[in-house]
């Protein structure tokens, strides 16, 4: 049974509630604009459409800033494995909204070094990534290097050269294009980022690291792989290392809470690069090139 409010109370309630609702809507609108700018998309471009789960906003809330700065220095510093990976990936994000290819590939080489010791599943993934990184580096440093300084420059040149036609549709050779190679690395980067983030943020008693990374694979990469590859990957996940082993490799000698925070921050750097690349590939209509 409801309770009727006196007329003066109802009017007072509406006078206060309506401005608050308008303020909330304005705040929501402004936040949406800020997120679009921070994602790396330029104004006037097509919206980003992420593959798999929506982009993660990876932030660590449980550790104080002082503890993080003190304990993550080794992991994310100049000599730390995470630091050596994060720096070139962040440097690849051009202020104008592009992705600088040589820095992107340097970041990938450090990511491969991080993932390779983690068992057969990552050996499978990183061997493929190494081949693709090497192939794209050959273009970045080859006779056509002037066209491969950045992702946008590469895509524009390969479109003009007719290299991005889908097989069977036109005379192009998309199987050999740098843009196709970049798209495959882009998807693998997303899997690595989601896997690392989930491992770092998993709760005690929740899904194990293998289950979390297997789920990330099923969401991000499996739709692009044939059945035999999916089965091989499923078996490889049976020997996936535990969460503690991954954290120790990423941050040797660091207590678990600080190691988790460092991996979360590293995953955030990978996500920033993924979001920027997703925007650029989406603008060019290349997300289905391979």
Q: What are phi and psi of 100, to 5 degrees?
A: -80, 120
Question: Against a cut of 0.85, is the pTM above it?
Answer: no
pLDDT of amino acid 26 = 32
The answer as to whether 16 is a domain residue is no
The answer as to whether 179 is a domain residue is yes
Q: Does the pLDDT of residue 38 top 90, yes or no?
A: no
The answer as to whether 30 is a domain residue is no
pLDDT band at 119 (very low <50, low <70, confident <90, very high): low
Region of poorest pLDDT, from 21-25, 84-88, 235-239, 246-250: 21-25
Q: Does the pLDDT of residue 179 top 90, yes or no?
A: yes
Nearest to 83 by CA among 241, 247, 197, 251: 251
The answer as to whether 13 is a domain residue is no
The answer as to whether 157 is a domain residue is yes
Residue 106: give its domain's CATH number. Answer: 1.10.3520.10
- pLDDT above 90 as % of the chain: 38
Secondary structure (3-state) at 99:
strand
Domain of residue 232, residue span: 39-283
pLDDT band at 217 (very low <50, low <70, confident <90, very high): confident
Nearest to 263 by CA among 115, 136, 119, 134: 115
* Mean pLDDT score, 133-157: 96
Q: List the end-to-end C-alpha distance of the chain, in Å, as a whole number.
A: 61
The answer as to whether 290 is a domain residue is no
The answer as to whether 5 is a domain residue is no
Q: Does the pLDDT of residue 44 top 50, yes or no?
A: no
pLDDT of amino acid 227 = 85
Eight-state DSSP code of residue 97: S
pLDDT band at 231 (very low <50, low <70, confident <90, very high): confident
Cβ–Cβ < 8 Å for 104, 212: no
The answer as to whether 116 is a domain residue is yes
Domain count, the chain: 1
């Amino acid at each position: 049974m409801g309770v009727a409010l006196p007329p003066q109370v109802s009017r007072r309630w509406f006078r206060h509630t309506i401005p608050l609702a308008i303020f909330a809507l304005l705040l929501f609108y402004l936040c949406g604009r800020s997120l679009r700018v921070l994602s790396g998309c330029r104004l006037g471009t097509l919206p980003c459409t992420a593959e798999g789960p929506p982009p993660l906003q990876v932030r660590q809330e449980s550790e104080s800033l002082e503890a993080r700065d003190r304990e993550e220095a080794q992991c994310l510093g100049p000599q730390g494995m995470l630091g050596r990976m994060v720096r070139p990936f962040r440097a690849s994000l051009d202020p104008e909204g592009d992705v600088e290819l040589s820095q992107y590939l340097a970041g990938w080489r450090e990511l491969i070094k991080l993932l390779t010791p983690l068992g057969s599943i990552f050996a499978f993934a990183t061997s493929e990534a190494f081949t693709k990184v090497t192939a794209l580096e050959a273009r970045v440093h080859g006779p056509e290097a002037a066209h491969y300084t950045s992702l946008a420059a590469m895509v524009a040149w390969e479109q003009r050269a007719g290299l991005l036609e889908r097989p069977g549709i036109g005379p192009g050779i998309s199987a050999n294009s740098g843009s196709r190679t970049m798209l495959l690395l882009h998807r693998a980067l997303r899997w690595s980022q989601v896997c690392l983030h989930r491992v770092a943020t998993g709760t005690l008693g929740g899904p194990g690291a293998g289950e979390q990374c297997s789920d990330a694979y099923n969401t991000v990469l499996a739709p692009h792989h044939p059945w035999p590859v999916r089965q091989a990957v499923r078996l490889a996940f049976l020997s996936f290392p535990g969460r503690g082993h991954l954290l120790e490799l990423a941050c040797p000698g660091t207590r678990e809470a600080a190691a988790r925070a460092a991996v979360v921050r590293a995953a955030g750097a990978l996500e920033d690069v993924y979001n920027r690349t997703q925007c650029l590939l989406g603008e060019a209509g290349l997300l289905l090139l391979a």
